[in-house]
Amino acid sequence: MPVHARPRRRLLVLGAVLAAVACSPGEPGASATSSPPSASGSTTSVQDSGRREVAVFAGGCFWSVESNFEHMPGVVAAVSGFAGGQRVNPTYDQVVRGGTGHLEAVQVTFDPARISYRQLVDRFWRTIDPTDPAGQFCDRGASYGTAVFATPAQKPAAEASRRAAAAALAGKRFTTPVRDAGRFWPAEAHHQDFARRDPVRYGGYTRFCGRAARLRAVWGA
């Protein structure tokens, strides 16, 4: 698909069926909400310190970013949404049409006594192709760009992690930036926790997009 093609449509092969699908469940009649959705992710355990910090990552379609983080020990919740743009309380349709400046992103809430911010950033690089400035895998367009959104306190760890990841790529062009954190806007409720709620469709999407093969090509086995 051309880089400037509308990013809301792609082909998904699912069994013998060929259908049009977006990085959205596309549920009929699903309504937008400005309220944060219910938290998903790993269940807190007896080792939970009760402390909470937040990290925000943009890694292409937020279905996959959310799924990659939510089962990590120490991660309390992962919420899909938007970051980095100018529009207040954007909707999915507004973001993918372009002009808002937002990226699809995920807000990760974690217990810093169980997992560090640096560990989260280190993990993030291995789940994306940071050499691709025009989207991720089969998702093309500005809203599928990548970034680590870091607070001033987080920025030294994020930048150190980025340098280490770039060095590991042995001279490949590393395009994913560390950006200043700003307001995170949760996406509509029907976008949340999609990989768990619809594993068949999500599995078909990831296979068609060739995520695993591309990640091996970038990072190795």
| Residues with catalytic roles | 61
Helical spans, DSSP H, in the chain:
62-70, 92-97, 117-125, 155-168, 194-197, 199-209, 211-219
The rounded distance, in Å, linking the Cα atoms of 42 and 46 is: 13
Q: Is 159 helix (H, G, I), strand (E, B) or coil?
A: helix
φ/ψ region of 143 (left if φ > 0, alpha if ψ in -120 to 50, else beta) reads alpha
57 has which bridge partners?
A: 106, 148
Do 94 and 153 meet the contact criterion of CB atoms below 8 Å apart?
no
> Burial, 46: exposed, middle or buried (Cβ in 10 Å; 0-12, 13-18, 19+)?
exposed
